[in-house]
Structure 1
Amino acid sequence: MKRTLIILAIALSLYSCRREGYFGVFDMPLNRSWGVGEWVEFDFVQSDTINLHKIELSIRHSLNFGFRNLPLEIQTHSPDNKYWRDTIILKLTDADNDWVGQMGSNHIDFQSYYRRNVRFTHSGNYVIKVKHLLPVDSLEGVNAVGIIVETDGKK
């Protein structure tokens, strides 16, 4: 009986650790800005069409980043050639105009949920594209852009 419980516990823990997900980071090349109209792309294979998922954005920016808000356009393309497009504004500071996020020695890591309760209706390759919508030709101070896709719950 004890051995059966141990095997069951191990099996359940392994099953719960098998959460499908994706984590991608695009590091901006050194001494290069993020050009207007320039898309940052993330490609991943999604096979889970049953569970709900959440998509999180991660932005690493310098301490002297010149903007307090970061408007973004995000497009997600599915294997059946459909897509959805959103425009969001990331608020990088709080009410006191202090940076929000995890402070590093020379940068800040900011994370925010972009979408929750997403059901991927088709198995296959998905593409998430991100571009900034600031009124500048080249955006200085963004060091990296990341996407995290993970299970959010069952249907």
Structure 2
Amino acid sequence: MKNIFKGIIVLIMLAACDSNRVYEEYKTIDPGGWHKDSVASFNVEINEAEPGYNLYINIRNQGNYPNSNIWLFLDIESPDGQMLTDTVEYILAEKSGKWRGSGIGDLFDNQFLYRQNVRFEKSGEYQFFIRQGMRAEQLKGIHDIGLRIEK
């Protein structure tokens, strides 16, 4: 019983060490594939309009993902309705075919810096929308897509 209690305390302490995190969430992609029209949306409440936020895109891919890269379409809507639209490419595998990121079994986890030292102009709810841009009707092999914001 003491070992279980000690394990729980260690987990709580590790979670508390991530004090820079403002927001982090993953959306699980349909096992049948990420449809070209399917949107992963994230609603983030920003209470301090100050500089210094880093935005990350988190991707978990399976070993059967058929490409070495992924293109994503991102839309960010500010509390006053202004939209920022962007297209980004991330490399998931080396030229040798070795998957990047950390992996357990057949699942590989990557965190990519999207924007650094961002200043949110207004406090309030920001909406982030992410779609796959790989020109595939159903993109197979992507398990989760996530967003992380840090100070």
Q: 1:27: which partner in 2?
A: 28
Give 1:83 shift: 1.6
Q: RMSD across aligned C-alpha pairs, in angstroms? A: 1.7
Give 1:17 shift: 7.6
Give 1:51 shift: 3.0
> Is the Cα–Cα contact under 8 Å of residues 20 and 48 in structure 1 kept in the other structure?
no
Matched position secondary structure for 1:98? coil
> Is the Cα–Cα contact under 8 Å of residues 76 and 129 in structure 1 kept in the other structure?
yes
Matched position secondary structure for 1:44? strand
Distance (whole Å) between structure 2 residues aligned to residue 48 and residue 18 of structure 1: 16
Matched position secondary structure for 1:51? coil
Q: 1:127: which partner in 2?
A: 127
Matched position secondary structure for 2:145? strand
> Is the Cα–Cα contact under 8 Å of residues 21 and 148 in structure 2 kept in the other structure?
no
Q: 1:112: which partner in 2?
A: 112
Q: 1:11: which partner in 2?
A: none
Q: 1:70: which partner in 2?
A: 70
Superposed structure 1 runs of 4+ greater than 2 Å apart: 16-20, 94-97
Matched position secondary structure for 1:48? coil
Distance (whole Å) between structure 2 residues aligned to residue 18 and residue 72 of structure 1: 28
Larger CA Rg, structure 1 vs 2: 1
Give structure 1 stretches of 5+ with no counterpart: 1-15
Distance (whole Å) between structure 2 residues aligned to residue 113 and residue 126 of structure 1: 18
Give 1:106 shift: 1.9
Gap change, CA 1:136 and 1:17, over 3 Å in 2: closer
Amino acid of the residue matched to residue 52 of structure 2?
L
Q: 2:45: which partner in 1?
A: 45
Distance (whole Å) between structure 2 residues aligned to residue 115 and residue 81 of structure 1: 20
Matched position secondary structure for 1:24? strand
The two structures have a TM-score, normalised by structure 1, of 0.81
Give structure 2 stretches of 5+ with no counterpart: 1-16
Distance (whole Å) between structure 2 residues aligned to residue 24 and residue 130 of structure 1: 13
Count of residue correspondences: 135
Give 1:20 shift: 6.0
The two structures have a TM-score, normalised by structure 2, of 0.83
Matched position secondary structure for 2:113? strand
